[in-house]
A and B are shown apart, each in its own frame.
Chain A
Amino acid sequence: MARIRSDSRSELDLVAILCLAPSLLYVLAMFVYPFLYGIYISLQPKKRDAGIFSNYVAFFNDAYQYNTIKTTFMLALPTTVAVVLAALFLAYGMRRGIWFERTITTILVLPISLGVVFLSEGILGFYGHNGWLNQLLLAAGLIENPLELTHNSIGVTFSLFMQNFPFCFLMLLGYISGIDPSLESSARMLGAGPWTIFRRVMFPLIAPGLIIAFALVFVMSFAVFPSAVMVGQPAGSTRTISIAAYQQAFEQYDMSYASAIAVIMGLCQLAALVVIVLVRRRMTIATTMGVGKR
Chain B
Amino acid sequence: MRGRMWKLAIYLFLLGFILNLLGIVTHVVVSSFAKRWFGKPLPPAFTTDWFTYAWREFELSHVLFITLFIALAVVFIALAIGFPAAYVLARRNFNAKPVLLLLYFLPLLIPQMTYGIPLATTLYGFGVGGTVIGVILAVLVPMVPLAVFVLLPFFEQISLNLEWSAQMLGASRLQIFRRILLPLMLPGILTAGLLVLVNTISNFELAFLLAGGGSQTLVVALYYNVFAGGVRPVYSIDAMAVIYMCTVMAVLLVALRFVRPTQMVFRLDGRRN
Contact = CB atoms under 8 A, between A and B. Distances in A.
B227 A229 contact: yes
| Max chain A Cβ within 10 angstroms of own Cβ: one of B21, B124, B269 | B21
Contacts of B158: none
A120 B71 CA distance: 23
A122 interface: yes
Given A12-B94, A24-B100, A94 B248 contact: no
A156 interface: no
Contacts of A11: 91-94
A225 B205 contact: yes
Contacts, number: 258
B122 A34 contact: yes
B95 A10 contact: yes
Size category of the B interface is 35 or more
Contacts of B144: 23, 26-27
A194 B104 CA distance: 41
Interface in A55-114: 86, 89-90, 93-94, 98, 102, 104-114
Contacts of B124: 255
A170 interface: yes
B166 interface: no
A272 to B, nearest CB: 12
Among B91, B119, B123, B167, the most chain A Cβ lie within 10 Å of the Cβ of B119
- In this complex, the interface size class of chain A, counting residues with CB under 8 Å from chain B, is 35 or more
A126 B120 contact: no
B23 A265 contact: no
B41 interface: yes
A31 B141 contact: yes
Contacts of A173: 262
Given A126-B23, A162-B20, 18 more contacts: A20-B89, A23-B84, A23-B85, A27-B144, A30-B138, A37-B122, A89-B13, A117-B204, A118-B219, A118-B248, A119-B24, A125-B28, A125-B31, A170-B265, A171-B267, A194-B3, A258-B117, A262-B114
27 contacts: A10-B93, A11-B94, A20-B100, A30-B138, A41-B118, A89-B13, A109-B261, A113-B248, A115-B202, A115-B219, A117-B226, A118-B241, A121-B222, A125-B27, A131-B27, A135-B39, A170-B261, A170-B264, A178-B269, A209-B268, A222-B111, A223-B114, A225-B205, A249-B117, A249-B121, A258-B121, A266-B114
